[in-house]
Structure 1
Amino acid sequence: MALKATIYKANLQLADMDRNVYGDHGVTIARHPSETDERMMMRVLAFALNVPADNHNGDLDFAKSLWDTDEPDLWQKDLTGQIVHWIDVGQPDDKRMMKSSPKAERVSVYAFASSTPVWWSGVATKITRARNLTVWQVPAEQSQALAELAQRTMQLQVTVQDGTVWIGDGQRSVEVTPERLTPV
């Protein structure tokens, strides 16, 4: 018998001063049985860092990446169904990144494992043609601290200022500073 996804719900109170994006966002996250709290919370972080200020170009949604390899972790599609933003979490191989690049206006990758420098050294020179690709690294100790905030129902306050993200649940707070790996 196949294991089913576990449903998590989060209410994000977002104040992103870097992008002037503010608001409350209720999200439902289907957590695959093989997914860790750390990876799921990285998807929540990626959502908070990329949710658009309005839905004129479509909403940012959680996709079915762990069920369907042709989908990212998150994506924003415009009203015609075209992919505006493709977002992967983890360490996708260079082929996946190069394949997703022409499908979307923008592609973002959020890597978070302690092995990210090794992964990055192996793929960095293979993805230089993808001009719309941005790769970020979240230090492993920060993503692990973020995982400790995971609960089936979450009320999270997310503040972004000067490239630093503070995520709190009223009891604890985690500081996350993503580092851009791709050239500007």
Structure 2
Amino acid sequence: MALKATIYKADLAISDMDRGYYASHNLTLAQHPSETIERMMLRIAVFALHADERLHFSKGISADDEPDLWRKNYAEEVEQWIELGEPDEKRMRQICSRADNVWVYSYGGRSAEVWWPGMAGKVGRFEHLNIMSVPVEALAELAALCQRSMQLTATIQDGTLWLSSEQGSASLTPQRLYGGDNR
């Protein structure tokens, strides 16, 4: 019998001072059996950093041809593609050809440290690509906030996200490895 996804719900109130975006989102997330709590909570944090009424979670891990999050226009063209992990050069080329704006959030700790030096010289031709690195410590803080039903408050200022709930708080300041800021 195949393992099923675990469903989480999050009411997320966002105050993004950097972009002047203030809104609430009711999110439903399916945690794939192979996905860690840290990765799932990072998806919520990245959603908060890029929040928009048309930004949605995709099938993610369950689909090879979809990102973790994406924003499509009304003609169903991909405006923004957001991927978590360390994609190889072929995947990077594919996703940059499919979207106007691409964000990659590397979060693997030691694997990310090995991945980026090998990738750094290969991404120069992608003008609309942004690569960010997430500190491992932040993943542990985010995971501590996880519950099946969450009330989260996100405050973003000067590139730092503060996420809080009844469980406590976490902060995340992704480090830019490549690209300009074109959220």
The question of a shared fold, defined as TM-score above 0.5 by the shorter chain, is answered with yes
Is 2:55 the partner of 1:60? yes
* Paired-residue identity, %: 47
* Cα RMSD (Å): 1.0
Of 63, 78, 81, which residue of structure 2 is paired with 1:83?
78
- Are the counterparts in 1 of residues 141 and 169 from structure 2 also a CA contact under 8 Å? no
State the AA in 2 paired with 1:28: T
Structure 2 counterparts to residues 35-184 of structure 1, below 5 A: 35-52=35-52, 55=53, 59-115=54-110, 116-184=112-180
Question: Which runs of no fewer than 5 residues in structure 2 stay unpaired?
Answer: none
Is 2:28 the partner of 1:32? no
Cα distance, 1:136 vs structure 2: 0.6
- Are the counterparts in 1 of residues 72 and 79 from structure 2 also a CA contact under 8 Å? yes
Q: Where in structure 1 do 4 or more consecutive aligned residues deviate above 4 Å?
A: none
Q: SS at 2:62's partner residue?
A: coil
Question: Which runs of no fewer than 5 residues in structure 1 stay unpaired?
Answer: none
- TM-score calculated relative to the size of structure 2: 0.94
CA shift digits 1:100-144 (9 cap, x unpaired) = 001111000111121222111111111111111101111111112
- Are the counterparts in 1 of residues 38 and 140 from structure 2 also a CA contact under 8 Å? yes
Paired residues in the alignment total: 179
Distance 2:144 2:64 in 1: 27
Cα distance, 1:20 vs structure 2: 0.5
State the AA in 1 paired with 2:105: Y
- Are the counterparts in 1 of residues 103 and 129 from structure 2 also a CA contact under 8 Å? yes
- TM-score calculated relative to the size of structure 1: 0.94
